[in-house]
């Protein structure tokens, strides 16, 4: 049985970006640029005022104070989006508003609060230094600079790209991920309950995981435990960018996935990983398509997806940091597990005196769907250790962004 890190090292190189597409900025959130565009304009594009007030020459205001204000004639105004202002004659001021073009000759803005207007003149009560309250052209960014390479596009990046007149950008394509569920016992979610049958819940859980990771799920029709039918669906699923099968990978007589993969021409890699839940997990490749056989037990399927498939999908999207955050958490109670495999124990987290405390759910069975509700993290229980004492600090994989911090920091 392969340890997790070895299996992951084998799986990840198979997940490579599969092409590039141009999308509008609205669709670009969460994606990564395949080619970084360049700034088209300086930012700011022109010298402009950071305040509502008066543009002037700093030299004309030397020594101005509340006790001895300097009074200047006001010669017109410059407002955001208005006509280009005329040049400012020496010894005068111009009314100006935030974002408006600075008139030639002016080198400072005095904020309105430090002035008193009287008819065509303004009394100025401070002596600004040159450049005060002026946003100088190109002080943030110069035209030609490369933008947003190698980061996941979020609000800040998208705002910057928009400021640079890039209505569309080239990003790595979302991988289409086929989900093939096998088992004679499977019903559709809309079917009525039937004796001996269960709903194919994995398709829904996995589709949600694929989507959360940034991929596009493609749920194939449920397939019974018949080799020829499975082979046919494997062939169909290989038209996707990634093929996930679920169920049929253990050692039972009806576990047909490895035969089906072989018949469909998938080159088989490993078949078992020392992970709990989820030991039977197969990995192979057909042409460029990674093929992962997930175990059928719902918790095993979700946990193995989390460990082996999610980082792969992130990698296909070009994410330079394809892994979730991890960190140490404090165990709330004593805990034991069977040695031999690294266990990912479902946990809810709470924050106690600044530290994340993990409550391992009581139900840790690999088929227990209710135990997956509200999971914040998987606590990693080492394969060679049987007992874990309360207060032990253990590594954990955080699967929820807000894990343990449901409040805001303003109190
Ligand atoms: P298998 O890996 O096919 O041996 O299945 C292991 C367990 O997972 C069995 O109890 C199956 O009934 C269950 N199972 C398999 N596939 C699914 C599925 N798509 N949805 C829910 N449970 C499943
Ligand atoms: Mg089965």
Beta carbons within 10 angstroms of residue 195's beta carbon: 4
Would the pTM count as exceeding 0.85?
Answer: yes
Cβ contact 125:78 at 8 Å: no
Fold of 4-17+174-316: Molybdenum Cofactor Biosythetic Enzyme; Chain A (3.40.980)
Q: Where are the domains of the chain?
A: 4-17+174-316, 20-43+139-172, 48-135, 326-398
181 CA → ligand 1 middle, Å: 9
Nearest ligand atom owner, CA of 252: 1
304 Cα–ligand 1 center, Å: 14
The minimum-distance atom of ligand 1 relative to the CA of 297 is 8
In words, the CATH class of domain 326-398 is: mainly beta
For residue 33 the two structure tokens come to: 């640029």
pLDDT, tens digit only, all 411 positions of the chain = 899 999 999 999 999 999 999 999 999 999 999 999 999 999 999 999 999 999 999 999 999 999 999 999 999 999 999 999 999 999 999 999 999 999 999 999 999 999 999 999 999 999 999 999 999 999 999 999 999 999 999 999 999 999 999 999 999 999 999 999 999 999 999 999 999 999 999 999 999 999 999 999 999 999 999 999 999 999 999 999 999 999 998 888 778 999 999 999 999 998 899 999 998 999 999 999 999 999 999 999 999 999 999 999 999 999 999 999 999 999 999 999 999 999 999 999 999 988 999 999 777 788 899 999 999 999 999 999 999 999 999 999 999 986 666 677 786
Residue 232 CA: distances (Å) to CA of 83, 118, 289, 331: 68, 86, 16, 47
Tokens 């227990």: give the residue.
368
Residue 54 burial (10 A CB sphere; 0-12, 13-18, 19+): buried
CATH number, domain 20-43+139-172: 3.90.105.10
Distance from the alpha carbon of residue 297 to the mean position of ligand 1, in angstroms: 5
Query: Which CATH architecture describes the domain 48-135?
Result: Beta Complex (2.170)
Give the number of the atom of ligand 1 that is nearest the alpha carbon of residue 185.
12
Q: What is the pLDDT of residue 344?
A: 96
Closest-lying ligand 1 atom to the alpha carbon of residue 225: 3
Distance 251 CA to ligand 2 centre (A): 10
Q: Would you say the CATH fold of 326-398 matches that of 48-135?
A: no
Residue 365: per-residue pLDDT: 84
Q: Which of 326, 333, 329, 330 is nearest to 387 (CA)?
A: 333
Cα 154 to Cα 212, 243, 314, 395, 403, distances in angstroms = 15, 29, 15, 28, 21
Note the pLDDT tens digit of each residue in 198-238.
999 999 999 999 999 999 999 999 999 999 999 999 999 99
Ligand 1 pocket, residues with Cβ under 6 angstroms: 181, 183, 185-186, 198, 200-202, 246-250, 252, 255, 295-298, 367
Distance CA 224, CA 246 (A): 12
């Amino acid at each position: 049985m392969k340890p997790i890190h070895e299996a992951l090292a084998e799986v990840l190189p198979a997940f490579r970006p599969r092409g590039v597409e141009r999308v509008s900025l609205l669709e670009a959130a969460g994606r990564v640029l395949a080619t970084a565009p360049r700034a088209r304009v300086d930012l700011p594009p022109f010298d402009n005022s950071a305040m509502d007030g008066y543009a002037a020459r700093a030299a004309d205001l030397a020594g101005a104070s509340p006790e001895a204000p300097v009074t200047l004639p006001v010669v017109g105004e410059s407002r955001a989006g208005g006509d280009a202002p005329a040049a400012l004659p020496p010894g005068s001021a111009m009314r100006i508003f935030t974002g408006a073009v600075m008139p030639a000759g002016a080198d400072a803005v005095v904020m309105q609060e430090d002035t008193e207007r009287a008819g065509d003149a303004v009394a100025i009560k401070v002596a600004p230094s040159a450049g005060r309250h002026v946003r100088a052209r190109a002080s943030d960014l110069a035209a030609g600079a490369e933008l947003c390479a190698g980061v996941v596009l979020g609000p800040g990046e998208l705002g910057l790209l928009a400021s640079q007149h890039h209505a569309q950008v080239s990003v790595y394509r979302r991988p289409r991920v086929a989900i093939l569920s096998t088992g004679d016992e499977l019903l559709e979610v809309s079917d009525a309950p039937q004796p001996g049958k269960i709903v194919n819940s994995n398709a829904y859980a996995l589709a949600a995981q694929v989507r959360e990771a940034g991929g596009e799920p493609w749920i194939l029709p449920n397939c019974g435990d018949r080799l020829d039918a499975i082979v046919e669906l494997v062939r169909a699923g290989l038209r996707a960018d990634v093929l996930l099968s679920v169920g049929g990978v253990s050692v039972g007589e009806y576990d047909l996935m490895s035969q089906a993969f072989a018949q469909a021409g998938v080159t088989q890699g490993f078949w078992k990983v020392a992970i709990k839940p989820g030991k039977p997990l197969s990995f192979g490749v057909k042409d460029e398509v990674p093929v992962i056989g997930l175990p059928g037990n719902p918790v095993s399927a979700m946990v193995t997806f989390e460990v082996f498939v999610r980082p792969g999908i992130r990698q296909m999207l070009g994410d330079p940091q394809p892994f979730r955050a991890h960190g140490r958490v404090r165990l709330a109670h004593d805990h034991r597990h069977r040695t031999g495999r690294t266990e990912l124990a479902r946990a809810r987290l709470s924050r106690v005196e600044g530290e994340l405390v993990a409550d391992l759910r009581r139900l840790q069975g690999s088929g227990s769907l209710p135990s997956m509700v509200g999971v914040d993290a998987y606590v990693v229980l080492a394969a060679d250790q049987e007992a874990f004492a309360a207060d032990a600090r253990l590594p954990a994989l955080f699967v929820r962004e807000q894990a343990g911090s449901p409040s805001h920091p303003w109190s």
